[in-house]
Amino acid sequence: MTEQELESLIHKAAQEGAKQALKEVGLSDEEAYDDVKELRSLLDSWRATKTTVGQTIARMITTALLTALAVGIYMGWGE
Every domain of the chain and the residues it spans = 1-29, 31-79
Mean pLDDT by 10 residues, the chain (79 residues): 92 94 87 90 96 97 96 81
pTM of the model: 0.55
pLDDT of residue 78: 59
How far is Cα 10 from Cα 74, in angstroms, rounded to an integer?
A: 78
How far is Cα 71 from Cα 22, in angstroms, rounded to an integer?
A: 61
